[in-house]
Amino acid sequence: MVSALSIENLEKTYDNGFQALKGIDLKVEPGDFFALLGPNGAGKSTTIGVISSLVRKSGGKVRIFGVDTDQDFPGAKQLLGVVPQEFNFGQFEKIYDIIVTQAGFYGLPRKLAEERTEKYLRQLGLWEKRNDVARTLSGGMKRRLMIARALVHEPRLLILDEPTAGVDIELRRSMWEFLQEINAQGTTIILTTHYLEEAESLCRNIAIIDKGEIVENTSIKSLLKTLSREVFILDSRDALPASPDFAGYEGRVLDDHSLEVVVEKGQSLNRFFSSLAEQEIEIVSMRNKANRLEELFVALVKSGQEES
């Protein structure tokens, strides 16, 4: 089966000598919801730039659904939709005009362009704002405008660069639902994000890029399995004793009503809860201290820094 995105030995060296990409390889399968993570300056945006033609590569191959960008970039671009990190639409244009115009750039006849514009503006809750000038929109609306614009030619591969940056929680959730919906309908999605919770809940596969190299490329499940330990925070109904017995587990009291416990991979929590019950400590809630993916991400990037 042909990959939705295939990147082989992709290199980019800027004129000042900075090597942004050091020969990365990446494959994203059709229908996938894929996360591309990395710290600032790792090479995520350069990779997206090369795929979308805004950045010229120094070497390597990029194929979108088998279409080689060296041989048929226009053909590859027809299959691709990009939502950039920064707002890049005409600030003085009407929302409706921005979407219809973008459809025209992909050769869609006017009638079809108008139908699709209505469809996506409605789906993204912007139809009532269609005659508003883009610069008057809120940050969240501007993000949704860029998603509608990227979808108007109905690409098979959609790349979103930090789509929920600066978006409030409620809107972020609704955008997640929308993205999951179009992914379920068959659109392959690649997402870069700083919200690791977002990657964990939306994506099936993940690549972590650091200093222009892919340091991890696997499924989210496999990656989470490599966690050696997890830290949980537990809240008690009543005030905790000054020095509760942790039954051999590593832990500490955080305040009057909460404590923290470290659980090694494969270790059971039963004994710990039995010990708490014996001490008449009633636990009313429990949660992960940190996002699990975040821990792995930090560990991977940190190990890269130590090696270099």
Task: Kindly give, in sequence order, each residue whose CB lies less than 8 Å from that of residue 297, ignoring residues fewer than 6 positions away.
Answer: 37, 196, 208
Q: What residues numbered 194-213 form the site for other proteins, per CB under 8 A?
A: none
Residue whose entry in the numeric block shows the structure tokens 């609306």: 141
Q: Give 106 or 249: the residue with its C-beta nearer to other proteins.
A: 106
Q: Site map for other proteins, 80-109, x if CB under 8 A? A: x-x-x-xxxxxxxx---x---xx-xxxxxx
Residue 159 or 220: which CB sits closer to other proteins?
A: 159
Stretch that binds other proteins, among 78-86, 117-125, 169-177, 238-246 (CB under 8 A): 78-86
Smallest gap from residue 243 Cβ to other proteins (A): 59
CB 160 within 8 A of CB 168: no
Residues 6+ apart with CB under 8 A from 163: 83, 143, 146, 147, 175, 179, 191, 193
Angle at CA of residue 101, ends 97 and 105, nearest 5°: 175
Token look-up 């997890």 returns 230
**Size of site (CB under 8 A) for other proteins:** 35
Q: Which stretch binds other proteins (CB under 8 A): 2-10, 70-78, 180-188, 262-270?
A: 70-78
Q: For residue 201, what are the CA distances in angstroms to 12, 204, 304?
A: 31, 8, 25
Under rule CB under 8 A, residue 68 binds other proteins: no
Q: Could you write out the DSSP letters of every residue in 80-100?
A: EEEE-SS--S-TTSBHHHHHH
**Residue 290 binds other proteins (CB under 8 A):** no
Q: Using CB under 8 A, which of the segments 46-54, 124-132, 184-192, 203-211 binds other proteins?
A: 46-54
Q: Which is nearer to other proteins, 77 or 129 (CB)?
A: 77
Please tell me whether residue 74 binds other proteins under the rule CB under 8 A: yes
198 HSE (CA, 13 A, CB side): 26
Per CB under 8 A, residues contacting other proteins are 14-15, 49, 52-56, 73-75, 77-78, 80, 82, 84, 86-93, 97, 101-102, 104-110, 149
